[in-house]
């Protein structure tokens, strides 16, 4: 998935950029400048959205291993 599509999913799950910004205690303008979720925000965004770090930034976080 492309970074813009990942960010769109994050924003949808969070209730929009203003709601995500409020939950992160940052400005909506800051969120609006993101091309993708900054690495330092992945943990908090994961908690807010319920998405795994890998779903948010697969370029930085490996997919969880599956047991067979």
Task: List the CATH number of the domain containing 37.
Answer: 1.10.260
- DSSP assignment of 10-55 equals HHHHHTSHHHHHHHHTS-HHHHHT-SS--GGGHHHHHHHH---HHH
For residue 15, give its domain range.
3-56
> Does a structural domain hold residue 64?
no
Residue 44 burial (C-beta neighbours within 10 Å; 0-12, 13-18, 19+): middle
Other C-beta atoms within 10 Å of 51: how many? 19
pLDDT digits 0-9 by tens, 12-48 = 999 999 999 999 999 999 999 999 999 999 999 999 9
**pTM of the entire predicted model:** 0.88
The radius of gyration of the chain from alpha carbons, rounded to an integer in Å, stands at 12
> Does a structural domain hold residue 37?
yes
Q: Residue 67: its pLDDT value, please?
A: 66
Q: How many domains does the chain have?
A: 1
């Amino acid at each position: 998935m492309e970074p813009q599509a990942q960010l769109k999913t994050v924003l949808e799950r969070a209730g929009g950029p203003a709601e995500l910004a409020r939950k992160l205690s940052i400005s909506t303008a800051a969120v609006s400048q993101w091309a993708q979720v900054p690495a330092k925000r992945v943990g908090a965004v994961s908690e807010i959205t319920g998405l795994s770090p890998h779903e948010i930034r697969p370029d930085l976080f490996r997919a969880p291993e599956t047991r067979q």
